Structures are given as C-alpha cells and as structure tokens.
Chains A and B, each alone.
Chain A
Amino acid sequence: MTETKVSGAAPTLVVEGLKTHFFTEAGVVKSVDGVDLCVDRGEILGLVGESGSGKSVTGFSLLGLIDPPGRIVAGSVRLNGEELTTASEKRLRDLRGNRIAMIFQDPMMTLNPVLKIETQMVETLLAHARMSRADARAKARDALGRVGIPSPEERLDAYPHQFSGGMRQRVAIAIALLHSPDLIIADEPTTALDVTIQAQILAEVQTLCRETGTALIWITHDLAIISGLADRVAVMYAGRIVETGSIAEVVSGPRHPYTHGLIGSVPSRNQRGHRLTQIPGMTPSFLALPPGCAFAPRCPRASAACTAMPELAGEGHAVRCFHPMNQPQGVPA
C-alpha cells in the first residue's frame, strides 16, 4: 500500500476505514469502527464525542499505541503519505514524539514523578536527534520559554510535583513541540484545568500551530471549546463519525440529531431563561450496540429505516443519518 499522490497540497494525515477493536472476555468491543479523517497542514480538527465514543482510542490508534487486548483490525493511517498501520515498531518509534506528538488529558499523570523536567525533555530530544547534552538542555530551556513558563533555566531542574496542573500541561505541550511535529494529537488537554488556564493554553496552542504549520487533532467532549479553536470538526458516536464539516457549518446548522443534541445541551446567551435540552438515554455499551444506527434508540427522528447502517454522505458537510436535519437546499432527503 503506497501512496502514489505526493503533491504539495497533500494532507498531513489521512485516515480511512480505521477499525480498532478490543478482544475482551465479555466480547469484542468495537471502540473505533470505520473512522475516516483528513487533516491538512496547519489545520485544526476537532474530534468531538461523549465519554466512551472512541475518540481517545482513535488518537492512540494513530500513534500505534494500542495495548492488548486491543488492536487495529482494519483501515489505513497515512502520515505525509506513509502508511502507519503496517509500519514496523522501530519506524513508529522514530515517528512518535518526532513527527506525531501527543498531549494527554491529565497533566498530573503525564510526567514521570521521579524524573526531573530536564531529563524528560532531553531524553525526547536525544531519542530523535544527535546532539550534545548541553545543546539539548538549551533547546529544552527555549521550548519551556516558548510555552510561557517563567525562569525556564531553573525550572529545568525541578520535578513535576513542583509545578501546578496548568504549568505541567505547558511542559507536556513543550515536550510535544520539541521536534516541530507535523501532527499533534491533543486528548482533552484542558479538561483537567481551570477555565482561565484553559483559555490561555487554547490560545497558545493555536498560535504555535499556526506558526509552525503543525496539524492538530483536538479531542474533546466540549463543542464550545472547539468552536473557538478548530477549522473543522468531526463528531463521533459509538466508534463512528456521524457528522463532519467546517466548524461554522456544523455549529450553526447541525444535521445529525446527535450533534443537534450536543449543541442544544451547551449553555449559551441566546437561550437565557430556558431549560437546557438534554439528550435522552445514555451512551450505549459497546457490547450491546443496536443494529444499524447506534444513536437510533435515543433519537427523536428514528424510524424503521434506522435499523440499517446509514452511510456518511455529503460533500464537505457530511452526515451519517437517514433523517438529517437542516437540509441544505436542493438535496433530496
């Protein structure tokens, strides 16, 4: 499987039909079941879904970091045209932290508690580049300065527990940026932080990506965060993408009833005084998914047709639904 089309406009990341399944004793959990994604250079893609929709597993699948009993069973992941699902472990290791970096959800758990910040940064540099320790330390110091950590020289000798949560996440971001990767996967990196810190980090990550041309996949359950940050958004439900499009299209005219429900459950100024709508029911168990559309049992628009699986249909703004909302003009239902 070689990518023949290598042009200047080729997207940084193309994911096609990605399936990551976990083979547990209770049955096969299809956490990711046919996901397509495409991210261009410098583009920010929001990957949105409830807890357990498979969005984090998607992120780890891109890095090839799925632990048993899980594994990628089908699909293709191409970074700059290079297929990753069939790449050797050695090749993947060369790419991780170098061309693809990841930022985790909980900054309190991401940094090793018994190693100095310097150690954790320098080892990342030395894993992918030949340089002296002194050069590596200087580079690490500059990286800390770039993400807004005061007196980076002294902070290099500190241990993670001497940092606040927000500062730790900045360190993790600095580590992710060390090699100016082509793609950063950010798995809910601001969820565990204060709102004010969230806003700062969002703005900084956005700026850094724009400056370096790094593509970014921002995984979150919070559409509100994404709407100020991302260029495009993909909404995930039960292991599948149910709607994708530009952020403006999706937020202003959601077509999937699930997306509509997500947006309806976000507090906004226009709806002051009204009750927030909520999506009835719960995220289904992966072991007991209904046939066809997984959202059908919770969907007000579901019909008999929904026992079959709808395709992700539409150019640009696509939706996986037999009864989409906000029909664009001239498209038959």
Chain B
Amino acid sequence: MGYVINRLLQGLTVIAVMAVLVFVGVYAIGNPVDMLISPEADQAEIDATIARMGLDKPLWLQFLVFLKGAAHGDLGTSFIYNEPAVRLILERFPATLELALAAILIAVLIGIPLGVIAGLKPEQPTGRGIMAVSILGFSLPTFWVGMMLIMIFAVWLGWLPSTGRGDTVSFLGIQVSFLTVSGLRHLILPAVNLALFKTSLVIRLSRAGTREVIGQDYIKFARAKGLPESRVILVHLLKNMMIPVVTVLGLEFGSVVAFAVVTETVFSWPGIGKLLISSIVHLDRPVIVAYLMLTVMLFVTINFAVDLIYAALDPRIRRKESA
C-alpha cells in the first residue's frame, strides 16, 4: 500500500509543478486578442473582449482563476469555439486513443517476435535483416512514410482510404472505428504509419533483452531440465525480457497519444493532435493549456500503471516495497 501512496504523491507533485510551468509559459507568448477581433473594432470593443476573456487581470490572478476552475475540472473556455476546452479535447480524444492503441498493438505484435528472433540469431541473415529494417523504421520521417503509404495503398492500388475515420459506432459510450468495416479500413494506414517508429523501438528493446537473458544461467538450467525449446523461450525468456519492454512501452504510449500530431495531420484523422495544431495557429490559449495539462495527467497515470504492471511482472519489486 505504501508503494501505491508513494507513487500517487509523486504524480500529484508532477501535475502541480507542470500547471505552473504550462500556464506561465503559454501566457507569455503572443496576444490572442489581435487574432480574434475584427480590424474595424474600436477600442471599447477591444477592451470589452479583453475583459470578457479575463485577460485584463494580472498574471497571478489569472492563474488563481485558472486553478480554481481546474479544481472543478474546468480548464478554461476556448476563445475560438466558445466551448469548454476540456470538452473540445475529450470529444476528439477517443479518435486519438484508438489510433494510439492500434499503433501500440501493431508495435507489440510485430516488434516483440521480430526482436526475439533477432536476439536469438544475432549473427544470421534473419537477425541482421530484422535489424536493418528496424534502422529504416527509426530513420525515415513519419510524415514522409505517411505520404508514401497514401500514395501506394490509397492512390496507386486504391486498396485503402486515406482520410478520416470512416463509419463509427458507439462502444461503451464512445465513438470507435475499429468495429465497422469502413472504420477498420480507415484505421489501418494511419495506425501502421504511427506504429513504424514504435515497432523499431520494440524490436531493438526485445533484441537487447533477449541477448541479455539468453546468456543467463537460468536459461541454460531450463534447457538442462529438458524443457521444450518453446517453453524456454515463451516462458523463461519472455517473462524476464518483458520487464524493460513494458516500462518503455508504457512511457511510449503516452508519447504516441500526445504526439500523434503528424500522423493525424497527414491522414486528416480527427483527433486531438489536429486540434492542437489549429489551436496553436490561432493562439487559443485555454485549449493549448488544457491539452498540455491533460497530457501531463495522462503521462502520470501511465507511469503509475507501468509501476503497477512492473510489480506484477517482477516478484522481487513487490517484495522489496512491501517489506
């Protein structure tokens, strides 16, 4: 229990510090009023708008107002849409979450087996080939790969659609694409595009983990016990190798959600990444702040979950923390 409380307190501290940094940082740049008000407006109108948006108050007071709202789950109202920023983001969040989960799933399903194979046969053509491909995955820019995917699979071959989410259905109260044929077809290209970098990362992590674990005595002992090779690999090796992979994947999941911006832009995927880009262009401060705060909370939550999964995978951690 002490372990859980300790991690929770750490998370809350991070959120508090980030709130200050994000608020001050975003409010130090630009003047949104210039972009919102029509050029013909007179000074009285300008002042009225500034007062309505609360921009006439000193920074510290604005921050207190922000904090007061944040405590009630209100991170401000969008200047552009005139809607609560949190609602704007949450409306688009399922699309991004779905894309990110699909990408992580692809990265795990492809990356771990390939990484293990590369780790088991480091000197053979298979192993070397897998590593060469993973370098490509690391080096090619996401937007370029995205455009190539559209060109090949959407334009030339015409197999898959290239923009939007397709048909969505309600699943547990949120709109999802993956349960309809059209939605699934729309999901494939952006998910593959987003997964490319993560897959390469998982391949490298799995390979390094495999190489380390395979040399351990307990693997040799497992073989000396006469276990089938499949059990040595799938149980003895995989369970030990997964510990670092889970940690990194957890952290990477946060970054996939937060930085799906490029892929969402290329494939016109209606997620929070696209919202962020347009909010930055229009200096829609409340949306930017809300986005960053939600991202921080997402990372903190994921870190927390990773710690718990980690403890579940490795009995030594459970023991140490509870002792």
Proximity string of chain A (93-117) to chain B, C-beta cutoff 8 Å, 1 when within and 0 when not:
1111110011010100111111100
Say whether, besides A65-B223, A109-B218, A114 and B315 are in contact (CB < 8 Å). yes
Cβ contact within 8 Å between B225 and A123: yes
B57 within 8 Å of A by Cβ? no
Cβ contact within 8 Å between A104 and B226: no
Q: Which residues of B contact A151 (CB under 8 A)?
A: none
Cβ contact within 8 Å between B217 and A97: no
Binds A, one of B234-242, B268-276, B289-297: B234-242
What is the CA–CA distance of A65 and B222 in the complex, to the nearest angstrom? 11
Cβ contact within 8 Å between B236 and A97: no
Cβ contact within 8 Å between B226 and A97: yes
Q: Which residues of B contact A98 (CB under 8 A)?
A: 226
A124 within 8 Å of B by Cβ? yes
What is the chain B residue whose CB lies nearest that of A89?
B229
Task: Report the minimal beta-carbon distance from A95 to chain B, rounded to whole angstroms.
Answer: 7
Interface residues of B in 227-254 (CB under 8 A from A): 227-229, 231, 235-236, 239-240, 243
A175 within 8 Å of B by Cβ? yes
One of B218, B223, B243 near A96 (C-beta < 8 A) = B223
What is the chain A residue whose CB lies nearest that of B240?
A114
What is the chain B residue whose CB lies nearest that of A68?
B123
One of A60, A93, A101 near B228 (C-beta < 8 A) = A93
Proximity string of chain A (162-180) to chain B, C-beta cutoff 8 Å, 1 when within and 0 when not:
1000000000100100000
A287 within 8 Å of B by Cβ? no
Say whether, besides A113-B240, A114-B313, A161-B319, A127 and B225 are in contact (CB < 8 Å). yes
Q: Which residues of B contact A104 (CB under 8 A)?
A: 217, 220-221, 224
Say whether, besides A111-B221, A115-B235, A93 and B319 are in contact (CB < 8 Å). no
Q: Which residues of A contact B220 (CB under 8 A)?
A: 60, 65, 104
Q: Which residues of A contact B236 (CB under 8 A)?
A: 112, 115
Cβ contact within 8 Å between B227 and A114: no
What is the chain A residue whose CB lies nearest that of B238?
A114
B216 within 8 Å of A by Cβ? yes
Task: Report the minimal beta-carbon distance from A176 to chain B, rounded to whole angstroms.
Answer: 9
Task: Report the minimal beta-carbon distance from A110 to chain B, rounded to whole angstroms.
Answer: 5
Cβ contact within 8 Å between A161 and B316: yes
Cβ contact within 8 Å between A112 and B222: yes
Say whether, besides A65-B220, A162-B319, A112 and B240 are in contact (CB < 8 Å). yes
Cβ contact within 8 Å between B218 and A94: no
A22 within 8 Å of B by Cβ? no
What is the CA–CA distance of A271 and B284 in the complex, to the nearest angstrom? 90
Interface residues of B in 300-319 (CB under 8 A from A): 313-316, 319
Say whether, besides A114-B315, A115-B235, A115-B236, A109 and B225 are in contact (CB < 8 Å). no
What is the CA–CA distance of A112 and B236 in the complex, to the nearest angstrom? 7
Cβ contact within 8 Å between B224 and A102: yes
Task: Report the minimal beta-carbon distance from A219 to chain B, rounded to whole angstroms.
Answer: 14
What is the chain B residue whose CB lies nearest that of A105?
B217
One of A65, A102, A113, A127 near B227 (C-beta < 8 A) = A127
What is the CA–CA distance of A298 and B9 in the complex, to the nearest angstrom? 66
Q: Which residues of A contact B222 (CB under 8 A)?
A: 112
One of A63, A94, A111 near B224 (C-beta < 8 A) = A63
Say whether, besides A112-B218, A159-B316, A124 and B223 are in contact (CB < 8 Å). no
Q: Which residues of A contact B221 (CB under 8 A)?
A: 102, 104, 110-112, 172
Query: Interface residues, chain B, CB within 8 Å of chain A?
Result: 216-218, 220-229, 231, 235-236, 239-240, 243, 313-316, 319
5 new A-B contacts, CB < 8 A, other than A123-B235, A128-B226, are: A98-B226, A101-B224, A104-B217, A123-B231, A161-B315
Give the 10 A-B CB pairs with smallest separation, nearest first: A97-B226, A96-B226, A97-B225, A109-B217, A159-B315, A102-B224, A112-B218, A124-B225, A110-B221, A114-B239
Would you mind naming 17 contact pairs between A and B with Cβ atoms under 8 Å apart? Answer: A65-B223, A65-B224, A96-B224, A96-B225, A101-B224, A104-B220, A110-B221, A112-B222, A112-B240, A113-B240, A114-B313, A123-B225, A124-B225, A124-B226, A127-B231, A161-B316, A161-B319
